[in-house]
Amino acid sequence: MPVLLAESQRRHLEQLLGSAVRSVATVAGGDINDSYRIGLSDGRRLFVKTKRHPPPHFYAREAEGLAFLAAGLAAEVLRVPAVIAYSPAALVLEFLDLAPPSPEVDERLGRGLADLHRASPGRFGLAQDNYIGTLPQENGELSRWAEFYGQARLLAQARLRQAERLLDRTLRRRLERLVARLDDLVGEPEPPARLHGDLWGGNWLSTKQGPFLVDPAVYGGHREVDLAMMRLFGGFSERVFQAYAEAMPLSVGHEERVYLYQLYLRLVHVNLFGAAYLGVVIRIGTRYS
């Protein structure tokens, strides 16, 4: 549960926003940040994310990720929340009034995601590293998708401390064999897509203004990564996938690559949550290696 906003945090927000904080209410959300709805003396209602001891540039990278997504979106179809302000200690966004999902919202989400993926950033990766959850996400910019996915996604996660401890020699060799085969596994070449990067069901919102994407872990990558993550835990209706495919047809063999592209997030879960996720990593590694 989020704790009450500390007086020092309140003062920081007032300085950052140039207005007195008149009301504070906790907002349910993820397990990384404490989240609040605040009311200011100038009449604004805003959404605030903060946490104790965030990693370096944590909120700056998120603000930049939202801008990266916004550059590829048509606001009347799919949107991201406006960034009001950020600092090393907090991120302040526009407050969104939620509404139940509907067929129209699902349609807009699918078509908007296709628009986002078509707005290629030109290279695989990103000019600077960022985060997925609280984990560092290695980027760099490469011209070949198989190389980027193997080195900057799968093997980079395998080198982090928790995975380094939990992945035994057999599993590590299996993962290395899979990476060596990626040129044959990743499908036909496609232009780099503008990816959300962590698109599970909790990272989109149905609002009175339509669908919004939140909590990005952006980079240029294969569009099937976002689509595979969307199928990991549910939270997206089949109409979303249908609308996407109508707007941007999927490549031949995409069904065979779903687990391949879920492997990255599974390794992220090993590093965040431990050995409970090793079994599925083993199964995926066996399937493709």
Alpha-carbon gap, residue 149 to 227, rounded angstroms: 15
Helices in the chain by DSSP H: which ranges?
7-17, 58-70, 103-118, 145-148, 156-158, 161-166, 169-180, 182-185, 223-230, 238-247, 258-273, 278-288
Q: Residue 248 to residues 125, 216, 245: CA-CA distances in angstroms?
A: 22, 22, 5
Sign of CA dihedral 26, 27, 28, 31: negative
Cα 119 to chain centroid, rounded? 17
Cα 90 to chain centroid, rounded? 18
Residues involved in catalysis: 198
